[in-house]
């Protein structure tokens, strides 16, 4: 059976036959220490690959879209096949979004001309985004692009309106889905995470050109979190953690702008779940890590508006930024060691901390100091120059 490659005929080089008993074997020279060994040539297998073999594709890869895409949509008998092929293509090659989305939207504008076609397009994208786990982000980006570039706007609603209506259909059964069987919950969780991606990626342009997020999605995410925490099964709680990691910082900022304390209420519910719910130990650890993440402002770092000099009280890394000294016995000590605090401060303030550095004609080599006696005065000139620059730079940074 063929394995996908054209086999070239196998060729081997024949072995040299050993001499028979009747063959005359030449006498060895008595002066020779050792006879030259006879060389046996091993068989050499020729390659079985052929330049005429068909092009190789990884399993599961389909080149149908790429070939048909280059020829346009004429090769697709229906809109459904064209859109589904493009969605599969994006799933396999998400990096092609930027280069191919414009042509895809132009093709849709020539094809999607009725309400039914627009409804079908929305349903195809929704199903792909909620059935393929790693497509929720790409699906949200696709929805945002099409909401601004599809020209059709029938009476039943434009693309964005129909998409939100489709999401609302799933949203209205959230309470039943959160307490349903495993398959139902899994489908519900995919919808929750897709809605989170939509909240972050779906842009709504106002009349003055300002870009905002859909407030209705913000409200929906809050209620979806309530449904998840009201049914504290492990998979529901894991979904809630994923959603908050994805959208928590943006949601909290939006709620704070409106003077709402919704995130405080959510954190309180999480703490109650950790204390009371019969969830697994691993899930409780995930919830506690989430609370910790939120307490660190969701991992965001904001520069302080006013400068404050670092002290052991306000900088936990204060002592990590200070140099380390050694006693004459080789014992290291830092500013954090109470037995050496006076000596440490003295060394920092002394000019002779920098050996061989002269200022105003005064030798500041620090000769006789037990902490500096071991410094070699015969350094290579280049090393000495580099060392002096390093010391001066360290002192400059310390005084800043």
Q: Which two tokens stand for residue 268?
A: 């309180």
Residues 269, 338, single domain; the answer is no
Mean pLDDT value across residues 239-266: 95
Mean pLDDT value across residues 21-34: 46
Q: Is 148 among the domain residues?
A: yes
Confidence class for position 309, pLDDT limits 50, 70, 90: low
Residues sharing a CB contact under 8 Å with residue 256, sequence separation 6 or more, in sequence order: none
Residues 286, 252, single domain; the answer is yes
What was the pLDDT predicted at 292?
93
Q: Is 24 among the domain residues?
A: no
What was the pLDDT predicted at 77?
84
Residues 335, 212, single domain; the answer is no
Q: Is 12 among the domain residues?
A: no
Q: Is 152 among the domain residues?
A: yes
Residues 293, 323, single domain; the answer is no
Q: Report the chain's mean pLDDT, rounded to a whole number.
A: 77
What was the pLDDT predicted at 209?
76
Residues 232, 337, single domain; the answer is no
Mean pLDDT value across residues 364-386: 57
pLDDT exceeds 70 at position 347? no
pLDDT exceeds 50 at position 79? yes
Does this model's pTM top 0.85? no
Q: Is 313 among the domain residues?
A: no
Residues 194, 248, single domain; the answer is yes
Mean pLDDT value across residues 9-33: 45
**Helix (H) or strand (E) run with residue 80 in it:** helix 79-92
What was the pLDDT predicted at 350?
60
pLDDT in tens, 148-203: 999 988 888 899 999 999 999 999 999 999 999 999 999 999 999 999 999 999 99
Tally the domains of the chain: 2
Q: Is 16 among the domain residues?
A: no
What was the pLDDT predicted at 364?
43
Handedness of CA 156, 158, 163, 164 (dihedral sign): negative
Residues 327, 229, single domain; the answer is no
**Which residues form the domain of 328?**
318-349
What was the pLDDT predicted at 202?
93
Helix, strand, coil % over all residues of the chain, rounded to 5? 55, 5, 40
Residues 326, 226, single domain; the answer is no
- How do strand 358-359 and strand 332-333 relate by DSSP bridges? unpaired
Q: Is 324 among the domain residues?
A: yes
Confidence class for position 381, pLDDT limits 50, 70, 90: confident
Confidence class for position 207, pLDDT limits 50, 70, 90: confident
Residues 131, 203, single domain; the answer is yes
Confidence class for position 313, pLDDT limits 50, 70, 90: low
Q: What is the CATH number of the domain that holds 238?
A: 1.25.40.180
Mean pLDDT value across residues 14-31: 45
239, 268, 298: which is the final residue of a domain?
298
Confidence class for position 24, pLDDT limits 50, 70, 90: very low
3-state secondary structure of 344: helix
The segment with the largest mean pLDDT, out of 81-85, 299-303, 327-331, is 81-85
pLDDT in tens, 113-134: 999 999 999 999 999 999 998 8
Q: Is 32 among the domain residues?
A: no
By CB atoms closer than 10 A (0-12, 13-18, 19+), residue 194 is buried
pLDDT exceeds 50 at position 358? no
Residues 343, 204, single domain; the answer is no
Percentage of residues of the chain with pLDDT beyond 70: 62
Residues 111, 238, single domain; the answer is yes
pLDDT in tens, 276-307: 878 899 999 999 999 999 999 998 876 544 55
Confidence class for position 220, pLDDT limits 50, 70, 90: very high
Q: How far is Cα 333 from Cα 324, in angstroms, rounded to an integer?
A: 6
What was the pLDDT predicted at 316?
53
CB hemisphere CA count around 265 (13 angstroms): 11
Confidence class for position 382, pLDDT limits 50, 70, 90: confident
Residues 204, 326, single domain; the answer is no
């Amino acid at each position: 059976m063929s394995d996908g490659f054209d086999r070239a005929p196998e060729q081997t080089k024949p072995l040299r036959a050993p001499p028979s008993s009747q063959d005359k074997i030449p006498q060895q020279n008595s002066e020779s220490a050792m006879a030259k060994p006879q060389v046996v040539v091993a068989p050499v297998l020729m390659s079985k690959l052929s330049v005429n073999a068909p092009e190789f594709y990884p399993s599961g890869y389909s080149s149908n879209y790429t070939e048909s895409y280059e020829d346009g949509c004429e090769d697709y008998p229906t809109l459904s096949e064209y859109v589904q092929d493009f969605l599969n293509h994006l799933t396999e090659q998400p990096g092609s979004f930027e280069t191919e989305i414009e042509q895809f939207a132009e093709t849709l504008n020539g094809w999607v001309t009725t309400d039914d076609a627009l409804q079908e397009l929305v349903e195809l994208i929704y199903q792909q985004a909620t059935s393929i786990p790693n497509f929720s982000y790409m699906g949200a980006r696709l929805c945002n692009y099409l909401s601004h570039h599809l020209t059709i706007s029938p009476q039943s609603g434009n693309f964005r309106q129909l998409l939100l209506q489709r999401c609302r259909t799933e949203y209205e059964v959230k309470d039943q889905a959160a307490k349903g069987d495993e398959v139902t919950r899994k489908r519900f969780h995919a919808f929750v995470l897709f809605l989170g991606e939509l909240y972050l990626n779906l842009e709504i342009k106002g009349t003055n050109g300002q870009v905002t997020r859909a407030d209705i999605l913000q409200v929906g995410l809050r209620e979806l979190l309530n449904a998840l925490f009201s049914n504290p099964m492990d998979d529901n709680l894991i979904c809630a953690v994923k959603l908050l990691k994805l959208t928590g910082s943006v949601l909290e900022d939006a709620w704070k702008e409106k003077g709402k304390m919704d995130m405080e209420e959510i954190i309180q519910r999480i703490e109650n779940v950790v204390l009371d719910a019969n969830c697994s130990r691993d899930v409780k650890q995930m919830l506690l890590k989430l609370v910790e993440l939120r307490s660190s402002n969701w991992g965001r770092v904001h520069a302080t508006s006013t400068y404050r000099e670092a002290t052991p009280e306000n900088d936990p890394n204060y002592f990590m930024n200070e140099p380390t000294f050694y006693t004459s016995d080789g014992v290291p000590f830092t500013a954090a060691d109470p037995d050496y605090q006076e000596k440490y401060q003295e060394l920092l303030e002394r000019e002779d901390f920098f050996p061989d550095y002269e200022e105003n004609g005064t030798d500041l080599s620090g000769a006789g100091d037990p902490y500096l006696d071991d410094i070699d005065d015969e350094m290579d000139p280049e090393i000495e120059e580099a060392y002096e620059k390093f010391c001066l730079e360290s002192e400059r940074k310390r005084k800043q």
